[in-house]
Amino acid sequence: MSGAAKVTARPDSGTPEKFRVWSELCESLATRFADKTAFINVDGKALSFAGFDLRVNRINNALAAQGLRKGDRVAILAKNCTEYAEVYGLAKTGLIVVPLNWRLTPPELLALLHHSAPAAIVVDQQHLPVIAALREQLPSVSVFIALGTAQSGSAALSGWQDYEQLLTAASDARPGIMLAADDVACLMYTSGTTGAPKGVAITQRGILGNVHVSADLVLHLQPEDRTLAAMPMFHAGGMWYHLHPSYAAGCTSVLMAGFDAAQVLRNLALHRITNVHLVPTMINALLADPAIGQVDLQHLRLIFYAASAIPLELLKRALDTFQGCDFIQSYGSTEAGMITDLSASDHVRASSGERQDLLSSCGRPAPGNAIRVAADDGRALAVGEIGEILIRGQSMMSHYWNNPDATEKAFLSGWFCSGDLGYQDQDGYLYLVDRKNDMIVTGGENVYPSEVEAVLRADPEVAMAAVFGVADPVWVERVVASIVLKPGSRRSAAEILAHARQHLAAYKCPKEIHFQQQLPLNAVGKVSKKDLKQAFSNQNQ
């Protein structure tokens, strides 16, 4: 039942932000938590808050000595490590950090490097050969820096500088660069799940705004917390959680090079982790690991999950398994930071049966944010009506880098157009329906893939399901499903369709079902429908 049109906002009732730019925060933390460990690699390398700040000063001064100035870009291609955090610290002097997705192919990396035109690039050992092979095609890059030693195998790479040697030779004095809140600190590329990646320009104000909302008002992080960083730092989830809020709260962050369920469980116990950020596919992998019942997780007080919708059955299993641990969900984006939160108390209400429907929600606007569910003309829709989610908040990007057309399209009268479809209930809780670009229009009817996927996943023989639309000469688009069956299953396409028809209108049911061993995932566990559509097109050429 629909109610009146509304705009939902949640006031920021927390302590006002203390810092105007990133350098002020870094220097305050170095004083307040001087000898406390800020970052530690799982291999044991650790940095205190004071030591980290001095190394950040050194890398900033080293690059300044080589001619880099405020506004220049510095790209990094590496797995999670303490040096990665230091490179993010280049925002201290107004250098713009460009984190690169290490899952991209060389042509994809080249496109991002041409677009961002960095003056310097920092690369770990694993990815040195990739960038070395692209070097002649990178005219903007004058400084090539290798983490570890500037070698690949036994052959030294000519023209590469060693990161540690650079820092050793540089001063650790505080750089005297004047910064403004609107200066760009980071250029983060979207995943490109529905099109070409766009460079999201995130300002000093945007970073500190998200720190305030997430660390202080939603997650309530404390200096005694110990966080496990299993999310890649090139992704907004890794940056928005570990490199900014956790660090800003004075937490100790344990850095993993990548996600591995067994290693995550081991590190949760070994490092007495109190909070961790995961995505639903990671949670599912932990629950499936045989060691889940054998490790000591009594210190774990919070699991924060985000990046994609979570199936209700999976969330219920997680709540049962991690008893005594709070769960908080957030809907967010690279462009807007943390947008909503489904609080720990919301999860308790839902799991108790009082409001079980909340487990399908991604919560209410995070403090300081406002949400409007809108029609195509920006008009606010009534409660229960599906429309595009428009956002206002203090963590908003300033623009898309070198893309004024995309920037103009992204904003409507001061509201950011998320491209996501959803609706709100009478209490302001937001329910995601799908990506606007993923919606399938077949025979004049709108089909939301997430609705079809939920039905397919409810089949006890289905492990994973992804639904997308492909061009059709009769229906404009037809509904196609890619499915991964559970081990040992012999479920046929006809049986799956029979199940779907019990719960869905005929036009919503897949016209084709393709069985696969696995679905293509991006770096944070989202199914890449762009890759699925491309694979489907290649098969049908």
Q: Provide the pLDDT for residue 151.
A: 47
Nearest of 10, 21, 354 to residue 183 by alpha carbon: 21
Domain check: are 408 and 492 in the same one? no
**272 CB neighbour count, 10 Å cutoff:** 15
The per-residue pLDDT for 191 is 61
Assess contact for 533 and 521: CB atoms under 8 A.
Answer: no
Q: Is residue 419 part of a domain?
A: yes
Question: For residue 419, what pLDDT is reported?
Answer: 87
Q: How far is CA 434 from CA 37, 197, 275, 377, 467, in A?
A: 41, 19, 29, 19, 11
Same domain, 428 and 449: no
**Closest alpha carbon to 74 in 90, 58, 86, 59:** 90
Torsion angle, alpha carbons of 12, 13, 19, 22, to 10: -50
Rounded Cα distance, 37 and 158, in Å: 36
For residues 396 and 491, state if they share a domain: no
The first and second tokens of residue 161, run together, are 């500088």
What pTM did the predictor assign? Answer: 0.83
- Whether 475 and 425 map to the same domain: the answer is no
Domain holding 289, by residue range, is 207-435
Domain boundary among 404, 435, 466: 435
The residue among 243, 184, 185, 168 whose CA lies nearest residue 211 is: 243
One domain, residues 282 and 167? no
Does residue 458 sit in the same domain as residue 413?
no
Structural domains of the chain, count = 3
CATH number at residue 445: 3.30.300.30
Residues 281 and 140 reside in one and the same domain: no
- Cα–Cα–Cα angle for 239, 241, 246, nearest 5°? 115
CA distance 398 to 201: 6
DSSP-derived secondary structure for 377-394 = TSPBPBTT--EEEEEE-T
Are 457 and 417 found together in one domain?
A: no
- CB-count burial class (<10 Å; 0-12, 13-18, 19+) for 406: middle
Residue 446: partners with Cβ closer than 8 Å, 6 or more residues away: 439, 440
Per-residue model confidence (pLDDT) at position 17:
54
The sign one gets for the Cα dihedral 184, 188, 189, 190 is negative
CATH number at residue 384: 3.40.50.12780
Tell whether 367 and 485 lie within a shared domain: no
| H-only helix segments in 295-429 | 312-321, 344-351, 404-410
Q: Answer yes or no: are the C-beta atoms of 481 and 465 closer than 8 Å.
A: yes
Fill in the DSSP letter of residue 5: B
For residues 423 and 302, what is the distance between their CA atoms, to the nearest angstrom? Answer: 27
- Do the beta carbons of residue 519 and residue 484 sit within 8 Å? yes
pLDDT of residue 4: 61
State the pLDDT at residue 527.
Answer: 82
In a domain? residue 195: no
154: left (phi over 0), alpha (psi -120 to 50) or beta: alpha
Q: How many CB atoms lie within 10 A of CB 352?
A: 9
Assigned domain for 24 exists: no
| 152, burial (CB in 10 Å: exposed 0-12, middle 13-18, buried 19+) | middle
Q: What angle do CA 154, 156, 158 make, to 5 degrees?
A: 160
Q: For position 107, which CATH number holds?
A: 3.40.50.980
What 3-state class would DSSP assign to 527? strand
427-439 b/e with 16+ CB inside 10 Å = b?
ebbbbbbbbbebb
Instruction: Single out the residue of 403, 338, 388 nearest to residue 197, CA to CA.
Output: 403
Give the mean pLDDT per block of 10 residues along the chain (541 residues). Answer: 62 62 94 97 92 98 97 97 95 96 86 96 96 96 88 59 96 94 93 67 92 90 95 83 86 93 95 92 89 92 79 82 91 89 91 83 91 91 94 91 94 91 94 80 77 89 91 80 93 93 87 92 73 76 56
| 329 and 430 fall within a common domain | yes
Side-chain-side CA neighbours of residue 36 (13 Å): 17
The verdict on 389 and 252 lying in the same domain is: yes
Quick one: pLDDT at residue 194?
Answer: 45
The SS3 assignment for 191 reads coil
What is the pLDDT, as a whole number, of residue 135? 96
CA atoms within 13 A on the CB side of 341: 23
> Which of 435, 466, 484 is at the close of a domain?
435
> Tokens representing 350?
């839902």
Residue 259 forms part of a structural domain = yes
CA-based R_g, the chain, Å: 23
440/443 Cα distance (integer angstroms): 10
CA-angle at 293, arms to 292 and 296, nearest 5°: 85
Using alpha carbons, select from 369, 427, 368, 338 the residue that is nearest to residue 13.
368
Residue that the structure tokens 């713009």 belong to? 96
* Spatial contact of 406 and 400, defined as CB atoms under 8 Å apart: yes
pLDDT at 348: 86
Q: In Å, how far are 254, 282, 283, 519 from 262, measured between CA atoms? A: 16, 11, 12, 21
Backbone torsions φ then ψ of 129, nearest 5 degrees: -60, -35
Q: Decide if 143 is inside a domain.
A: yes
Taking the C-alpha atoms of residue 385 and residue 375, their distance in angstroms, rounded to an integer, is 9
Residue 32 placed within a domain: no
Cα 299 to its chain centre, rounded Å, is 25
Distance of alpha carbon 332 from alpha carbon 341, whole angstroms: 9
Classify residue 453: in a domain, yes or no: yes
Query: Left, alpha or beta for 307 (phi > 0: left; psi -120 to 50: alpha)?
Result: left
Q: Is residue 22 part of a domain?
A: no
Return the structure tokens found at 136: 């002649």
Q: Which amino acid is at 329?
A: Q
What is the C-alpha separation between 77 and 127, in angstroms, rounded? Answer: 7
Same domain for 110 and 237, yes or no, is no
User: 435, 450, 479: which is the final residue of a domain?
Assistant: 435
